[in-house]
Structure 1
Amino acid sequence: MVNHRLSLSDFLLALPDADKAKNQINLISFNIQVGIQTAAYHHYLTRSWQHLWPHKQRTPTLDRIADILRHFDIAALQEADGGSWRSNFINQVEHLADKAKFPHWFQQTNRNIRPIAKHSNGLLSRLEPHQVEYHKLPGLLPGRGAMVMKIGRTDPLVIIVLHLALGAKTQAAQLGYIQTLVEGARHVVIMGDLNNHADHLLSNTPLAKLNFHSVDPLLHTFPSWQPQRGLDHILVSDSIQINKVAVLDTPISDHLPIAMQIQLPSKIIL
């Protein structure tokens, strides 16, 4: 049986050598659960107070996450805190960018519960973007957004960071919005906690209208202590070659991160 869950070191060792390394990009998507370590279902109850209250272990946990992120070129983060009471007013996206030595970082706060919490997504990049856009996604309740980063001016690489709603109907509406954003783009990467399995997303939502790679259904990321569901994804358009993809066996949050190395067409200039 193929091992779909690897340690970080094994994933890095398994990356192929390509002739044109400048067009290789290492990607990671990680729902970090605001730095809360969850290793069992009962922790959702016993550690729930950490969603509202500071905890001394939160920063060391973020530093462990940064040690993982530093091996990648682009990182998508979900459930980060933008700097509030519960995080000791530390912007977790900025903290991770600093610790992992990313020169470019972007944060989108989608739900601001002052002063307790600032629910945010994050995007870290070693590649300088040409443009970054922030979009609010449709839904009955506010609090979901998308960040769109374009790298390169001509025929750009488009990176989209998402954390979708839970309901399938709302997910479809949110992905319909995304579909309109990327119409005409040829090289697209969608990264994030998409709260559904890849086969459903690629067959039964507006993503079916786009030319994305199918994804291995055994890439399970949730829950981190006994993964049974594939909720976290990196989806790429068919113009992009996937060199390696795996779930990283690094149980820090309640989700495991998903990592991928892609090979861009040689004609793309980043």
Structure 2
Amino acid sequence: MDKRRLRLLSANIQAGNSTRGYKDYITHSWSHVLPGGNKRGALDAIAELAGKHDIVGLQETDPGSLRSGFTNQTHYLAERAGFSWWSHQPNRTIGGLASTANGLLSRLEPKSIEEHALPGRISGRGVLLANFGYARDALTVAIAHLSLGNQSRQYQLDFIAELLADSPNAVLMGDFNCDPDCREMHSLFRKTHLQPPAQRIPTFPSWRPQRAIDHMLVTPALSIAGMRAVPAAQSDHLALSVDLDVPEDALR
């Protein structure tokens, strides 16, 4: 079977904020709701990284609130990095000043885009799903940012499992806020064709990575040729860059 190699990136960009240590969560807390802090410079650095990839999934991108200077950061990155297709899913507004979204950048044309709100104790989480073909075996890419609480994550992963249960060529990427060995992840693997990661790659905190909470999960029909953690400007998460071999039939 003919395969095509694609390069995928999953990045929690923290809305372009800079966090280089735990103290920055306090000293730079204003930048999470107000503009400033060289967010545009951070976005340019992220655009340079994203531009080396074919499909990019973003978490904590700002869809155009006060803190981003009313810039839709996903759109900005698409234009800056030269992507032909982009989409975003606004999820949560914080105090009327800041908003967060999942985002997709792609050099391949998605045949369809779906936005789903995720269940949880506190609303404001979602999964953005892109199909890159029309058939049942089309490549499906899902981008999610899961909750901090175990029970909410369980509900969310059960919901995502229903979406991806019958997809033979699926990718689920994002900030899961949990290790791949956690109980709720086992449930996801039982209910879908998605596989546990072959290697544990710490991504958080970015300045001293200890926790593997950002993941890119794939089904057996997709072959990972390489996976590495890379800085996403000065976000508190490292990004995951993956070389993926995809059956050509999954892209038709």
TM range (shorter): over 0.9
Change (3 A) 1:113 1:218: closer
Count matched residues.
Answer: 251
The aligned residue for residue 176 of structure 1 is: 158
Query: Is 1:42 matched up with 2:23?
Result: yes
How much has 1:122 moved relative to structure 2?
Answer: 0.6
TM-score by length of 2: 0.94
**Paired residue for 1:63?**
44
Alignment of 1:1-270 (within 5 A): 23-113=4-94, 115-154=96-135, 155-200=137-182, 204-249=186-231, 252-270=234-252
Quote how far apart the aligned CAs of 1:121 are: 1.1
Structure 1 letter corresponding to 2:246? L
Q: In 2 relative to 1, CA 179–163 (structure 1 residues): closer, same or farther, beyond 3 Å?
A: same
Cα distance in 2, alignment partners of residues 150 and 228 from structure 1: 33
Aligned amino acid, residue 206 of structure 1:
L
TM value normalised by structure 1:
0.88
Query: Structure 1 unaligned runs (5+)?
Result: 1-18
Mean CA deviation greater in 229-238 or 180-189: 180-189
How far off its partner does 1:202 sit? 7.2
What is the letter of the counterpart of residue 29 of structure 1?
Answer: S
- In the alignment, the residues of structure 2 paired with residue 107 and residue 195 of structure 1 have an alpha-carbon distance, to the nearest angstrom, of 21
SS in structure 2 of the partner of residue 264 of structure 1: strand
Matches of 1:245 and 1:200 in 2, distance apart? 21
Note the C-alpha offset of 1:212. 2.2
CA contact (8 A) 1:179 1:210 kept: yes
Report the Cα offset of residue 269 of structure 1: 3.6
Per-residue CA distance 1:193-226 (angstroms, 9 max, x = gap): 0111112267533333222233144300000000
Name the SS of the counterpart of 1:159 in structure 2.
strand
Contact residue 180 and residue 212 of structure 2 kept, 8 A: yes
Superposed displacement of residue 56, structure 1? 4.8
SS across alignment from 1:174: helix
Task: Answer whether contact 2:46 2:232 (CA < 8 A) is retained.
Answer: no
* Cα distance in 1 between the residues matched to 2:185 and 2:113: 28
| Matches of 1:221 and 1:206, distance apart in 2 | 21
Residue identity over aligned pairs, in percent, reads 38
1:93-142 alpha-carbon deviations (Å, 9 max, x no partner): 11111101111111111013474112111111111011100000001111
Q: Verify the 8 A CA contact 1:112 1:119 in the aligned structure 2.
A: yes
Gaps of 5+ in 2: none
Closer, same or farther: CA 130–143 of 1 in aligned 2, 3 Å? same
1:34-68 per-position Cα deviation (integer Å, ceiling 9, x unaligned): 10111111000000100111105110111011010
State the 1:267 CA deviation: 3.4
Q: Is the 8 A contact 1:224 1:251 kept in 2?
A: no
Query: Aligned-pair distance for 1:265?
Result: 2.2
Residue 165 of structure 1 aligns to a residue in which SS?
A: coil
Which residue of structure 2 aligns with residue 3 of structure 1?
Answer: none
Q: 1:147 to 1:57 in 2, by over 3 A?
A: same
SS for the counterpart of 1:152 is coil
Q: Which amino acid aligns with 1:152?
A: G
Amino acid aligned to 1:198: P
- Judged with a 3 Å threshold, the aligned counterparts in structure 2 of structure 1 residues 218 and 207 are, in CA distance, closer, same or farther, namely closer
Q: Classify the secondary structure of the residue corresponding to 2:204.
A: coil
